[in-house]
Amino acid sequence: MSKPIVAVVGRPNVGKSTFFNKIVGRRVSIVEDTPGVTRDRIYAETEWSGKPFVMIDTGGIEPDVDDVILSQMRIQAEIAMETADVILFIVDGRSGVTAADREVAQMLQKTGKRVILIANKIDSVKLPDDFHDFYELGLGEPMAISSANMLGLGEVLDEIVDAFPREMQDEEEEDTIKVSIIGKPNVGKSSLINALLGEERVIVSDIPGTTRDSIDTPFTHDGEKFVLIDTAGIRRRSRVSDNIEKYSIIRAITAIERSDVCLLMIDATEGVTEQDKRIAGISHEAGKGMAIVVNKWDLIEKDNHTTKKFENDIRVELPFLQYAPIVFISVLKKQRIHNVLEISKDISNQCSMRIPTGQLNGVISDAMLMNQPPSDKGKRLKIYYVTQVGVKPPLFSFKINDRELMHFSYSRYMENKIRAAFGFNGTPIKFVFREKGEDGNA
């Protein structure tokens, strides 16, 4: 299901980053008193009342200024506003309405999006004398909060989730596999989709970054329903220089969020680049099923060891993707391109697989007999039982005696044993460790 996007906008130094950090529950944005310190959007997934959403923190808007940094932040905020489902306009409740606030309000009114007006830095129940001047912005009733003191944040969150488009909550089709083609520009993502479909459904160009938005293409292959999502190529931030490219990055990230499976396309002539690692990390952290698709394989001179060496190089460069299958293709020659659909189907099934608790605990017991749990200062780790509590990605809850005794190496050992017994090919699997007496909910 596509997660709603909430953009936090406003002029510099009104407390946007503090608000963002309080909502997402961890210190993500840099917070300083210097206007313009938030140089780029920061993304984080959070939830309220059981409803997940993606929040975007932006640089401050400063209309009609020559300062390069402030003008760039205005561009970023405009992009965030364009892609958001809900916009939070934060103003300084203590300084009153400014000319910049009025100009930003006019920008927001033109978006046609749901806008929530938030007056920050109101530290007491007594409102400033000029508080009601914020009504003149034409964005409805202002909500008084104090981000620093966490006053009024619950009411704001209630308002946010109430504003989500209703159709987003019912759009998921359980029998359709949503596959995102991700990767840096010009690796052949659009060409792969056209080759699979057998027609020119997506514009293909030699110019990197031709695909400016995510494009959804539903189709059926061997009786299986797919939606292929072609994403704009993600560039390194230092090369992101125009509005459309910045807009594309947001769309690519949100496409990953709403996918079941992500196919990371790598150029065989370049190998794994730093940008490939960054893109792979976005998908891995999102818990999506993944396969690595090496394109332009026809351009590589080969011997009996070429494929194995290339696979080993990928595993070294992307150690966190040991679970992801690798497929070598040539879109130009149409070699093995339909393998990506079979792999995507298999990965989707693996992501959704549930293991009976009895079978799971049998594997864990055998694993502990083969490799005794670690101990520290005479106290040994005890695993009482394990149960699977989620899918997409598979999530396992371990009931143990002491969380501090669960070393990373033993956790990895347990993961390897579970994979050896049940597969989970192409999907990350996640563990949560709970001590005796703790709530069992994941």
Encode pLDDT of 351-382 as tens digits.
999 999 999 999 999 999 999 999 998 899 99
Residue 384's SS3 state is strand
Do residues 150 and 288 share a domain? no
Do residues 338 and 365 share a domain? no
Condensed to tens digits (0 to 9), the pLDDT of residues 390-429 reads: 999 999 999 999 999 999 999 999 999 999 999 999 999 9
Question: Once rounded to an integer, what is the mean pLDDT over residues 169-194?
Answer: 79
Do residues 27 and 141 share a domain? yes
Q: Which of 351, 380, 401 is the last residue of a domain?
A: 351
Greater confidence (83 vs 9) lies with 9
Query: What's the pLDDT score for residue 123?
Result: 84
**Residue 442 lies inside a defined structural domain of this protein:** no
Q: Which of 296, 317, 351 is the last residue of a domain?
A: 351
pLDDT band at 105 (very low <50, low <70, confident <90, very high): confident
Do residues 157 and 252 share a domain? no
Cis, peptide link before residue 373, omega less than 30° from 0:
no
Query: What's the pLDDT score for residue 232?
Result: 55
Greater confidence (241 vs 5) lies with 5
Where do we find the tokens 């370049």? 270
Do residues 336 and 189 share a domain? yes
Q: What is the number of other CB atoms lying within 10 angstroms of the CB of residue 276?
A: 24
Query: What's the pLDDT score for residue 426?
Result: 97
Question: Once rounded to an integer, what is the mean pLDDT over residues 80-93?
Answer: 84
Residue 17: DSSP 8-state: H
**Residue 346 lies inside a defined structural domain of this protein:** yes
Please give the Cα distance from 99 to 91 (Å, whole number): 12
pLDDT band at 262 (very low <50, low <70, confident <90, very high): very high
pLDDT band at 34 (very low <50, low <70, confident <90, very high): very low
Query: What's the pLDDT score for residue 438?
Result: 73
Q: Which of 140, 168, 196 is the last residue of a domain?
A: 168
Where do we find the tokens 């932006």? 58
Q: Which helix (H) or strand (E) holds 47?
A: strand 42-48
Please give the Cα distance from 431 to 414 (Å, whole number): 10
Residue 308's domain is classified under what CATH number?
3.40.50.300
pLDDT band at 31 (very low <50, low <70, confident <90, very high): very low
Do residues 280 and 422 share a domain? no
**Residue 441 lies inside a defined structural domain of this protein:** no
Q: How many domains does the chain have?
A: 3
Question: Once rounded to an integer, what is the mean pLDDT over residues 3-28?
Answer: 81
Do residues 23 and 164 share a domain? yes
Residue 96 has pLDDT above 60, yes or no: yes
Condensed to tens digits (0 to 9), the pLDDT of residues 203-220 reads: 444 544 444 344 578 888
Query: What's the pLDDT score for residue 8?
Result: 87
pLDDT band at 240 (very low <50, low <70, confident <90, very high): very low
Q: The domain containing residue 403 runs over which residues? A: 357-435
How many residues are listed for the chain in this entry? 442
Do residues 161 and 188 share a domain? no
Question: Once rounded to an integer, what is the mean pLDDT over residues 122-150?
Answer: 87
Q: Is the dihedral of CA 22, 28, 29, 30 positive or negative?
A: positive
Residue 286 has pLDDT above 50, yes or no: yes
Do residues 304 and 236 share a domain? yes
pLDDT band at 125 (very low <50, low <70, confident <90, very high): confident
Do residues 51 and 100 share a domain? yes
**Residue 440 lies inside a defined structural domain of this protein:** no
Residue 40 has pLDDT above 50, yes or no: no
Query: What's the pLDDT score for residue 442?
Result: 44
